[in-house]
């Protein structure tokens, strides 16, 4: 399996282990497989039995093997077995699926150590990084940005691992107290939290700028765990497969997914699964008030906002206006025309956006990819949380509420079951839960006392050079095992 860049498909193909450690391509693009592996009826039948008999970890290994040919199969199996265990996840199923009402289901992705769907990829990424660095005798300094859950999931997956440091940028004051406590409460010598004076998009821009400095990246061995890293995205493909297997009985049955998304990584994994031939009907993009993606899939206009116009909402992990993984879909939409991808994204950056709205063929193609979209407001998500709790006895977090609200609106347009992918447990967003239900969400025993822990975080301005200097100083002041 070879990998190519969305910005230059003619560049020398890379292998999985190389892009695992590299993150962004040298030309600033994102990696995609040269072609998607295809699923046939026999494979789906085999996987149905495998999931039932051996569980999620075994299924994950089989999916990963389709994308990885430079790591021995037995090593992949060992890593998935360590990543997806009941000692790390609250459910032995790893990703349970429950019926919410009628043909609307919840895919529970928040059973991991930080109660967020990001654990699904991060636990595997920690295994992959440590394995490949050990194989090469190298170290890595991971640089990432988080709008809420990526940071804690990455840090919990990487803490204490051999050869790894983590530098995680957060938008100062834009995460919930629980999210901050999860990250800033860690006191591991290989974990560095940085609160940037800005919004998530500013943090993401800093990560891209540092990663785009080839000399700095090489000298200080910078790697990435954000969803720009293909390894993380392919790990997320697994739960689309497992969810489809749990909902269906035969291989000709389709289901749809409603996915709360800000950076387009979660739903991009669904796009990959659909391109592989997994029987997915609709991929429904659910946004909050930061509705750049909803506007594109509804109208064909892509108009990312400035940091000043990115709204702070009660589903903060989706307060993103420039979705990094949208580039991967755009590459597929334009049939691999890397030059046009670069041109359109440069236009979006310099002129505030671009439009495919007048290209009717293109709009038809977008529909053929199965995408739909909807958006939710604070009032919508509060009402949805209140309804699911009082009427159905199910408490959901604000991001999942966005997904449920949009899914309910789409039920009139789709005939297939809709699975809303849960993003986090309600405990991470207590203020909104109290507003909606009048009561505090349950705190799982493993998080008892987390809000009382001492904080370990460095405040920095929105300045690439200041962040670089902090990385240099921290590397020189610490050793990795």
The residue behind tokens 């995609």 is: 32
The residue behind tokens 């095992």 is: 481
User: Whole-model pTM?
Assistant: 0.90
pLDDT of residue 23: 72
Give the H or E element holding residue 348. helix 338-351
State how far the Cα of 292 lies from the Cα of 266, in Å rounded to an integer: 16
pLDDT of residue 146: 84
**Structure token digits, residue 31:** 């990696």
Domain spans of the chain, in order of start:
97-114+230-437
Write the DSSP symbol of residue 308.
G
Tens digit of each residue's pLDDT, the chain (481 residues): 999 999 987 778 999 998 998 777 888 899 999 999 999 999 999 999 999 999 999 999 999 999 999 999 999 999 999 999 999 999 999 999 999 999 999 999 999 999 999 999 999 999 999 999 999 999 999 998 887 677 888 899 999 898 999 999 999 988 888 888 888 988 899 999 999 999 888 998 999 899 889 899 889 999 877 778 899 999 999 999 999 999 999 999 999 999 999 889 999 999 999 999 999 999 999 999 999 999 999 999 999 988 788 898 999 888 888 888 999 999 999 999 999 999 999 888 888 899 988 777 778 888 899 999 999 999 999 999 999 999 999 999 999 999 999 999 999 999 999 999 999 999 989 999 999 999 999 888 878 787 888 899 999 999 999 999 999 999 987 766 5
Give the H or E element holding residue 380. helix 378-392
Task: Give 432-441 contacts, CB < 8 A, sequence gap 24+.
Answer: 432/314, 432/381, 432/382, 432/385, 432/398, 433/385, 433/395, 433/397, 433/398, 435/382, 436/381, 436/382, 436/383, 436/385, 436/386, 436/389, 437/385, 437/386, 437/389, 437/390, 437/395, 441/395
State how far the Cα of 477 lies from the Cα of 40, in Å rounded to an integer: 52
Task: Name which of 110, 83, 115, 81 is nearest 95 in CA terms.
Answer: 110
97, 105, 395, 415 from 418: Cα distances, Å: 12, 6, 18, 9
Q: How long a stretch of residues is the chain?
A: 481
Write the DSSP symbol of residue 40.
-
**Structure token digits, residue 316:** 């903060």
Q: Angle 265-275/230-247 helices, nearest 10 degrees?
A: 70
What SS3 state is found at 207?
Answer: helix
State how far the Cα of 79 lies from the Cα of 89, in Å rounded to an integer: 15
Instruction: Find residue 97's DSSP bridge partners.
Output: 107
State how far the Cα of 476 lies from the Cα of 220, in Å rounded to an integer: 10
Q: The domain 97-114+230-437 is classified under which CATH number: 3.40.50.1100, 1.20.1740.10, 3.40.50.10490, 3.20.20.70?
A: 3.40.50.1100
pLDDT of residue 56: 98
State how far the Cα of 450 lies from the Cα of 317, in Å rounded to an integer: 20
Annotation says 466 is catalytic = no
State how far the Cα of 53 lies from the Cα of 106, in Å rounded to an integer: 22
Radius of gyration (C-alpha) of the chain in whole angstroms: 21
State how far the Cα of 347 lies from the Cα of 353, in Å rounded to an integer: 6
Angle, CA of 30, 36 and 41, to the nearest 5°: 150
Pairing of strands 104-107, 3-5: unpaired
**Structure token digits, residue 6:** 């969305």
State how far the Cα of 8 lies from the Cα of 297, in Å rounded to an integer: 25
Question: HSE-up of 400 (CA within 13 Å, CB side)?
Answer: 32
Question: HSE-up of 40 (CA within 13 Å, CB side)?
Answer: 1
Tell me the H-state helices in 107-199: 119-136, 149-158, 177-184
DSSP string spanning 226-259? STTSHHHHHHHHHHHHHHHHHH-SSTT--EEEEE
Query: Which residue among 15, 65, 88, 118 is the active-site one?
Result: 118
Instruction: Find residue 375's DSSP bridge partners.
Output: 287
Write the DSSP symbol of residue 116.
B
Judge residue 479's burial from the number of C-beta atoms within 10 Å of its C-beta, 0-12 exposed, 13-18 middle, 19 or more buried: exposed
């Amino acid at each position: 399996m070879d990998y190519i860049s969305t910005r230059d498909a003619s560049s020398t193909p890379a292998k999985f282990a190389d892009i695992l450690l590299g993150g962004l391509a040298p030309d600033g693009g994102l990696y995609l497989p040269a072609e998607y592996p295809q699923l046939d009826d026999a494979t789906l039948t085999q996987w149905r039995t495998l999931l039932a008999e051996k569980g999620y970890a075994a299924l994950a290994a089989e999916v990963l093997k389709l994308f990885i040919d430079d790591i021995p199969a037995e090593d992949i199996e060992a890593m998935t077995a360590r990543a997806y265990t009941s000692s790390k996840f609250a459910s032995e199923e790893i990703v349970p699926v429950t019926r919410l009402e009628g043909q609307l289901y919840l895919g529970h992705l928040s059973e991991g150590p930080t109660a967020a769907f990001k654990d699904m990829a991060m636990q595997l990424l920690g295994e992959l990084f440590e394995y490949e660095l050990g194989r090469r005798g190298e170290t890595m300094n991971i640089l990432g940005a988080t709008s809420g859950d990526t940071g804690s999931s990455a840090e919990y997956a990487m803490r204490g691992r051999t050869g790894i440091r983590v530098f995680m940028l957060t938008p100062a004051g834009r995460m919930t107290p629980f999210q901050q406590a999860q990250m800033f409460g860690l006191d591991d010598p290989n974990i560095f939290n940085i609160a940037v004076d800005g919004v998530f998009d500013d943090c993401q821009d800093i990560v891209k700028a540092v990663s785009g400095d080839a000399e700095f990246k090489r000298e200080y061995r910078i790697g990435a765990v954000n969803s720009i890293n293909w390894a993380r995205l392919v790990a997320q493909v697994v739960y689309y497969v497992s969810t489809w297997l749990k909902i269906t009985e035969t291989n000709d049955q389709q289901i749809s997914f409603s996915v709360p998304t800000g950076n387009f990584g979660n739903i991009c994994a669904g796009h990959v699964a659909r391109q592989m031939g997994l029987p997915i009907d609709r991929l429904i993009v659910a946004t909050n008030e930061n509705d750049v993606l909803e506007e594109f899939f509804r109208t064909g206009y892509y108009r990312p906002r400035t940091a000043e116009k990115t709204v702070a909402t009660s589903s903060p992990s989706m307060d993103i206006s420039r979705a990094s993984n949208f580039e991967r879909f755009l590459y597929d939409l334009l049939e691999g025309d890397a030059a046009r991808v670069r041109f359109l994204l440069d236009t979006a950056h310099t002129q505030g956006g671009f439009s495919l709205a007048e290209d009717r063929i293109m709009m038809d193609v977008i529909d053929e990819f199965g995408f739909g979209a909807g958006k939710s407001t604070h009032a919508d998500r509060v009402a949805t949380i209140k309804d699911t709790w009082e009427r159905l006895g199910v408490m959901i977090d604000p991001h999942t509420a966005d997904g449920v609200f949009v899914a309910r609106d789409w039920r009139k347009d789709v005939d297939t079951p809709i699975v809303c992918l849960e993003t986090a447990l309600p405990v991470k967003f207590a203020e909104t839960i109290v507003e909606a239900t009048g009561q505090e969400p349950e705190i799982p025993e493993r998080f008892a006392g987390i809000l009382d822990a001492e904080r370990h975080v460095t405040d920095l301005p929105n300045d690439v050079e200041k962040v670089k200097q902090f990385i240099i100083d921290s590397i020189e002041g610490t050793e990795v095992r």
